[in-house]
Amino acid sequence: MVNELKVDPKLVEEFLNINKNIFEAPKLVRAPDEINMDMTPYDVAYSEDRVRLLHFRPTTERQIKTPLVIVYALINRYHILDIHPQKSWVRNLLNQGVDVYLVDWGTPTNADRYLGFDDYVNGYIDNCVDFVSKETGEEKVSIQGYCTGGTLATVYAALHPNRLRTLTLTAPVIDGQKDTTVVGNLAKHIDVDKLVDTIGNMPPEFMYFVFSVLKPFEQGLEKYVNFFKNIHDNDYVENFIRVEKWLSDTPPIPGELFRQWIKDVYQENLLIQSKMYVGGKQVSLKNINMPLFTQVAVADHLVSPESSMPIHYAVSSEDKSLQIYTTGHVGMIASSFSQKRVLPEFGQWLKERSNK
Amino acid sequence: MQASDSKKAQQYYKHVSLFWTDLLYLMMSKPYALAAAGPMRKFGTNMKKLTTELIDSNDDLVEFNSKLTEYYKQLTDTWAEAQKQFSKKIPEIPNDAEHLEASKRIWIDIFENYFTTLFDSPKFAENFGKLVASELELAKHWNSMISELLDNANLPTKDDINEIYKELHSLKKRIVRIEKDVNHGTVKRNGK
């Protein structure tokens, strides 16, 4: 007796097609190492230690005088803000006539393990703002902080409110106890003192682990199957490889900065209570009195909106807006949705509050 | 009961090992003194520290293994639960090419849901925190042993280097402050 295995011929065909695509992939797709991640031209306006302040070249006539300094996150590099010509956060703002500067944190080494919040906020960010202010002749600048960069920008705004014309926070981590993501769950249970005292900097591998548990099946399996299915679609493939390369470039986080970050923001939740101290000064969120624009995403699986939104209610700014977008953490800054919805709103908001 | 027996055996092993290291050191130290200037002198003296470190690391290795086992147990239990749920659903879906995509979507959704619930749970985070902590304890023993060996070879240890990093960090801060004072509160360095 012979067992007959019935398989739909279409299934066999699909299986064979994917196999064919896998073999053809190296001929059709550039290797990640062959891709230059810098898209929009810029000049390095200022540098200090490993930090660089990038000044993007204008693509159109400037419509507002007040420059915008983007404070990028501590996780991964700034390239996600300029990942693809049609999805570039930076390029869109340039096209709207905004003068764009961006803080690139570089890649810290073991020698940077003692860098803390004080160095980042009162040192690097303040020096960048100082430089931009001097170069443009504008007494006050606008700041936009993304993700953990949003937290740094919040602390900066609370300690140096007179330097800022406006503050925009895009998915900032503010109230660690309200964060319902896997990142928040792990951060609350990690022995950060032991980690920093033993290893020094937060190793990138730790972040890779966190990434791997975020959406393990969707991100770990499905997206690669889709990549091979769409191997002949140049735009899809180019975008995929660029995002993958960005994801795999995670610099370490300086030990002391990571220690205070985990303890004060997630474990003891001091920031939202205005009980955090940076450089010997209390970070009082009530000091934030400039126009504030908070942008959160409902499907954010890295920083939950519940963790970001409390900033809107904690500041003393009279002019403040809170926008909730139906997208995710990266979708809010690097997608067709962000080009059509998030960026036009942000550009308009900036224009209405900047020197012309 | 078993744990206390293994603890006793470990203590006994530690005692025997230290006894012989100490005794051999005492017996050997006099003729040993003849080669007092060579690199092996320090090594001979510090050998005991290495042995102690190695024995102590056993405790942490046991802790690490138990947390790692729990970590994999949580993953396999969740996998089994998700698979059970998927198996209940699968007979409802026709087995042909048109429905393959739907089956795959259901599989991903079920597994994603089960695993995200696990990763979001305090029990996972607690065990993960302890797993990392026990791994760091092992790293500490490893660091101590390496430091011992480096010290024997008259090379800087991790602590020595950290001290320099700390000093460097504080010097850089002072320089920036002085530069700002000199330039009347502004920064001038330009990377162009």
For chain A, what are the domain ranges?
Answer: 9-353
Query: In the predicted model, is pLDDT for residue B21 greater than 80?
Result: no
Supply angle C-alpha A22, A249, A71, rounded to 5: 135
Say whether A216 and B143 touch across the interface (CB within 8 A): no
Strands (E), A171-310: 277-278, 281-282, 292-297
Phi and psi (nearest 5°) for A340? -85, -30
Nearest Cα residue to A292 out of A207, A165, A196: A165
For residue A52, the 8-state DSSP code is E
Mutate to test the interface with A, among B99, B126, B173, B187 (most CBs of A within 10 A): B187
Say whether B133 and A14 touch across the interface (CB within 8 A): no
Average pLDDT over residues A14-20: 85
- Interface membership of B189 toward A (CB under 8 Å): yes
Alpha-carbon distance values, B148 to A200, A212, B20 (Å): 19, 36, 20
The pTM (predicted TM-score) of the whole model is: 0.87
Mutate to test the interface with B, among A54, A55, A114 (most CBs of B within 10 A): A114
Distance CA A132, CA A128 (A): 6
- Interface membership of B19 toward A (CB under 8 Å): no
Distance CA A277, CA A108 (A): 23
Distance CA B52, CA B141 (A): 10
Distance CA B87, CA A150 (A): 44
pLDDT bucket at B191, cuts 50 / 70 / 90: very low
Average pLDDT over residues A38-66: 94
- Interface membership of B165 toward A (CB under 8 Å): yes
Phi and psi (nearest 5°) for A347? -60, -45
pLDDT bucket at A226, cuts 50 / 70 / 90: confident
Average pLDDT over residues B143-152: 89
Place of tokens 């050997």: B28
Say whether A45 and B190 touch across the interface (CB within 8 A): yes
Nearest Cα residue to A46 out of A126, A128, A101, A140: A128
Residue A34 confidence (pLDDT): 83
Yes or no: say if A120 and B173 are a contact pair by the CB < 8 Å rule. no
Residue B14 confidence (pLDDT): 80
Collapsing DSSP to helix, strand or coil, A105 comes out as coil
Distance CA B31, CA A345 (A): 83
For residue A339, the 8-state DSSP code is I
Say whether A213 and B115 touch across the interface (CB within 8 A): yes
CA A186 to chain centre: 19
Distance CA A130, CA A258 (A): 25
Query: In the predicted model, is pLDDT for residue B40 greater than 70?
Result: no
Residue A122 confidence (pLDDT): 95
- Interface membership of B146 toward A (CB under 8 Å): no
List the beta bridge partners of residue A71: A103, A145
Say whether B140 and A198 touch across the interface (CB within 8 A): yes
Say whether A123 and B128 touch across the interface (CB within 8 A): no
pLDDT bucket at B31, cuts 50 / 70 / 90: low
Residue A147 annotated as catalytic: yes
List the beta bridge partners of residue A154: none
Yes or no: say if A325 and A342 are a contact pair by the CB < 8 Å rule. yes
Place of tokens 């091979």: A228
- Interface membership of B191 toward A (CB under 8 Å): yes
CATH class for the domain made up of A9-353 = alpha beta
Q: Which two tokens stand for residue A189?
A: 């249970």
Distance CA A228, CA A218 (A): 15
**Of the listed A112, A118, A300, A312, which one is catalytic?**
A300
Yes or no: say if A118 and A279 are a contact pair by the CB < 8 Å rule. yes
Strands (E), B29-176: none
Alpha-carbon distance values, A161 to A73, A141, A156, A273, A316 (Å): 21, 11, 8, 18, 11
Amino acid code (one letter) for A143? I
Question: Considering only alpha carbons, which residue of chain B is nearest residue A130?
Answer: B186
Residue A329 annotated as catalytic: yes
How many angstroms separate the CA of residue B88 from the nearest CA in chain A?
20
pLDDT bucket at B50, cuts 50 / 70 / 90: confident
ipTM greater than 0.85 = no
- Interface membership of A57 toward B (CB under 8 Å): no
Yes or no: say if A52 and A43 are a contact pair by the CB < 8 Å rule. no
Distance CA A95, CA B11 (A): 72
Residue environment code for A35-70, b if the CB has 16+ CB neighbours within 10 A, otherwise e: eeeebbebeebbbbbbbbbbbbeebeeeebebbbbb
pLDDT tens by residue, A327-346: 999 999 999 999 999 999 99
Yes or no: say if A104 and A51 are a contact pair by the CB < 8 Å rule. yes
Residue A39, CA atoms < 13 Å, CB-side half-sphere: 20
Average pLDDT over residues A165-175: 97
Residue A93 confidence (pLDDT): 97
Q: Which two tokens stand for residue B186?
A: 């502004």
Q: Would the CA dihedral through B165, A72, B136, A209 be positive or negative?
A: negative
For residue A74, the 8-state DSSP code is S
Cα Rg of chain B (Å, integer): 29
List chain B residues with CB under 8 Å of A180: 120
Residue B9 confidence (pLDDT): 82
How many angstroms separate the CA of residue A217 from the nearest CA in chain B?
6
Average pLDDT over residues A127-150: 96
With the CA atoms of A171, A173, A176 and A178 taken in that order, what torsion angle do they form, in degrees rounded to the nearest 10? -20
Yes or no: say if A88 and A246 are a contact pair by the CB < 8 Å rule. no
For residue A279, the 8-state DSSP code is T
Average pLDDT over residues A3-14: 71
Residue B25 confidence (pLDDT): 73
Yes or no: say if A152 and A145 are a contact pair by the CB < 8 Å rule. yes
Contacts of B19 by beta carbon, 8 Å cutoff, 6+ apart = none
Nearest Cα residue to A158 out of A65, A66, A285, A333: A285
More confident residue, A294 or A33: A294
- Interface membership of A178 toward B (CB under 8 Å): no
Contacts of A82 by beta carbon, 8 Å cutoff, 6+ apart = A38, A39, A40, A88, A89, A90, A91
Place of tokens 């490893």: B142
Give me the residue spans of the domains in chain B.
Answer: 2-155, 165-192
* Alpha-helical regions (H) of chain A: 9-28, 89-95, 117-118, 126-136, 148-159, 182-189, 192-199, 204-212, 216-217, 223-229, 234-247, 255-260, 305-308, 310-314, 336-337, 343-353
Question: Considering only alpha carbons, which residue of chain B is nearest residue A189?
Answer: B129
Average pLDDT over residues A128-155: 96
**Of the listed A79, A99, A147, A312, which one is catalytic?**
A147
List chain B residues with CB under 8 Å of A191: 129, 132-133, 136
